[in-house]
Structure 1
Amino acid sequence: MEGTRLDLERIRAAREVIDPVFLDSPLYRCEALEPVLGCAIDIKLETANPVRSFKGRGTEVVASQLAGSDSRAVVCASAGNLGQALAWSGRDRGLDVTVVASRFATTTKLDRIRALGAKLELVDGDHELARERAAAIARYDGIRLLEDSLDLETCEGAATIALELLPGMQLSDRPVVLVALGGGALATGVGYVLKSLAPAVEVICVQPLGAPALTRSWHQRRVVTTDTTDTIADGVAGRIPIPEVLDDLLVVADDAVLVQEASIVTGLRLLLDHAGLVVEPSAALGIAAVLEDRDRFAGRQVFTIVCGSNVDQDKYRRWVGL
């Protein structure tokens, strides 16, 4: 597919360097959810791995490159999941990993970053401030800056998920894939593979109404920023879209929708009650999208990528009423 930064051969090659623990994640039809949602729903479970999110696919590509280079230090900004994944991928390869995060990030995620041996620096602001600080560290120390969604390794690592989705699709059923939209690595990667190999598949990006920047940018075909975010889905709460990522997304996504917080909470509860899954709010965005537009998905084969399960347990209990 022309018009994007991604490459199918690099994506296939990425599978060769990604630790198998992140590959071939469970994909199954969740029949228990069908009476509630009114459609066939297939779950791609990206939480059954050591970092409990899809981010390890991308960091494995980055870490394998750095392990064979002269520079073995790397810094990233993270809401939590990328930092955990980079720490895990770098640990056994002897890399020096620094993660910059907001002091207000999910405590569970921050604790895990420390436990995996990375240096953690906290900033008194949101993820955008963490990005600025990570870039400053990279410039000052002369080390690799890993920028989620901007760096192709993060997109093309995530894209390997789509290679695993395709064999389970019945193209005659007008399948649709619902992808959580934050920085854009997951959406652009998955969307690129699907549109390259099965263009009939509909790719819909889902973002919280309280963090709408990239969705608004997609609809207006230009970068639209916001001053603040207000959502429980901290993993997708960006304010300043990356122009190169938006360019890719405009090519590979069929639609981008916003969902309300109440629908996200209901999605969390449904995944717990009917699928036995404890997930973070970002992972419930696909279910939320179905809840808000049932007619659109009725009678179709719907895939949702459950992208992470690193959640603050106290907050989670309050959300789902435990």
Structure 2
Amino acid sequence: MFDLAELERAHGIVGQAVPPTPAHAWPLLAQRLGTRVVVKHENHTPIGAFKVRGGLVYLDRLKRESPNTAGIISATRGNHGQSLAFAASRHGVPAVIYVPRGNSVEKNRAMHAFGAELVEHGEDFQAAAEEAQRRAQFAGLHMVPSFHRDLVLGVATYALELFRAAPDLDILYVPIGQGSGISGCIMARDLLGLKTEIVGVQSTEAPSYALSFAAGKIVTTETSNTLADGMATRIPDPDAFALIRKGASRIVQVSDDEVGAAIRAYWTDTHNLAEGAGAAALAAALQEKQKLAGKRVGLILSGGNIDFDLFRKWVGTDVTPAAQRAMA
């Protein structure tokens, strides 16, 4: 996809808008996991999520190579759309973002506040994406996919920061939505010549990449009904899957109860708010706690954009027996 020099240049582009995010070793999380742990805080970007990096790099190239672009269009469950709206506003490019009906109210408000035209369509991400593609064709807008080389190049800059701050990580847990985050981690690790084991994380309610990884070929699902909307993917991207299959050791599936427990753990142990996908890496590490003794563990807290009502209903309710086990 790219070499280390290009990744360094991308880091410079991202750095014009996004300072390096912290990588903290939290002692209470170390006690909870029974081993050393480092959290990469991508919830501390200007949009509260790692995706901002990809949008900045994508728009930088688009404006250089196609300066007369009439506008961009894409589909999202939230953070990808915020990234594009944020980057497009910095370049003076109109942005149209499609979301499924019932999407996160607060993510929708944020995309609109960053200057995007927001359109609700369909019952899930896939339906919204297909409609966005149709509109792009008749409206003359540039369609930005959910997975693209420049998006991976951008988000790989957080992995570059993490691996340079903590080159001795034995294992890194990374949530998977459409796959740009874990692909960026794999690329950065390989370009730096490190041996860190990279483990993907998906929801039990949206396990398309996990099923594909196990089968060795693309497997789709009919639904993606997880509360962790950043992992609500039914159809894997073929390029992302190829990279994940080659560079990840395995994919762990976590339930919504386990993710809810991890959100609570982040709050009590670090006073950081994580969205569902953002807490998934910790949920997976807690599930595999017995395997981690003596290892230095990395966790990607990919974002903190969770609606207050969802937080209250999902995370703030009485803890279920499954969540109690996950918190133990």
Is the structural similarity TM-score above 0.5?
yes
1:139 aligned residue (134, 137, 158): 137
Name stretches of at least 5 consecutive residues in structure 1 with no aligned partner.
none
1:113 pairs with 2:111 = yes
Structure 1 counterpart SS, 2:91: coil
TM-score w.r.t. length of structure 1: 0.94
Partner of 1:320: 315
Partner of 2:86: 88
Partner of 2:154: 157
Paired letter, 2:150: E
Paired letter, 1:20: Q
1:206 aligned residue (196, 201, 206): 201
Residues 19 and 60 of structure 1 are in contact (CA less than 8 Å); yes or no, is this contact kept in structure 2? no
After TM superposition, give the deviation of residue 21 of structure 1 in Å. Answer: 3.8
Matches of 2:305 and 2:82 in 1, distance apart?
10
Quick one: percent identity of the two aligned structures? 28
Partner of 1:103: 101
1:262 pairs with 2:275 = no
Structure 1 counterpart SS, 2:314: helix
Structure 2 counterpart SS, 1:22: coil
After TM superposition, give the deviation of residue 131 of structure 1 in Å. Answer: 1.0
Residues 173 and 285 of structure 2 are in contact (CA less than 8 Å); yes or no, is this contact kept in structure 1? no
Partner of 2:302: 307
After TM superposition, give the deviation of residue 10 of structure 1 in Å. Answer: 2.5
Residues 3 and 191 of structure 2 are in contact (CA less than 8 Å); yes or no, is this contact kept in structure 1? no
1:238 pairs with 2:233 = yes
Residues 203 and 253 of structure 1 are in contact (CA less than 8 Å); yes or no, is this contact kept in structure 2? yes
Partner of 1:177: 172
After TM superposition, give the deviation of residue 273 of structure 1 in Å. Answer: 0.5
1:37 aligned residue (9, 30, 33): 33
Paired letter, 2:37: I
Structure 2 counterpart SS, 1:206: strand
1:62 pairs with 2:63 = no
Paired letter, 2:94: D
RMSD value over aligned CA atoms? 1.5
Structure 2 counterpart SS, 1:303: strand
After TM superposition, give the deviation of residue 19 of structure 1 in Å. Answer: 4.1
- Matched residues, number: 315
Partner of 2:121: 123
Paired letter, 1:111: R
- In the TM superposition, 1:44-55 aligns within 5 A as 44-55=40-51
Partner of 2:320: none
Residues 70 and 140 of structure 2 are in contact (CA less than 8 Å); yes or no, is this contact kept in structure 1? no
After TM superposition, give the deviation of residue 93 of structure 1 in Å. Answer: 1.3
CA separation of 1:93/1:21 partners in 2, compared to 1, >3 Å: closer, same or farther?
closer
Paired letter, 2:50: F
Residues 169 and 175 of structure 1 are in contact (CA less than 8 Å); yes or no, is this contact kept in structure 2? no
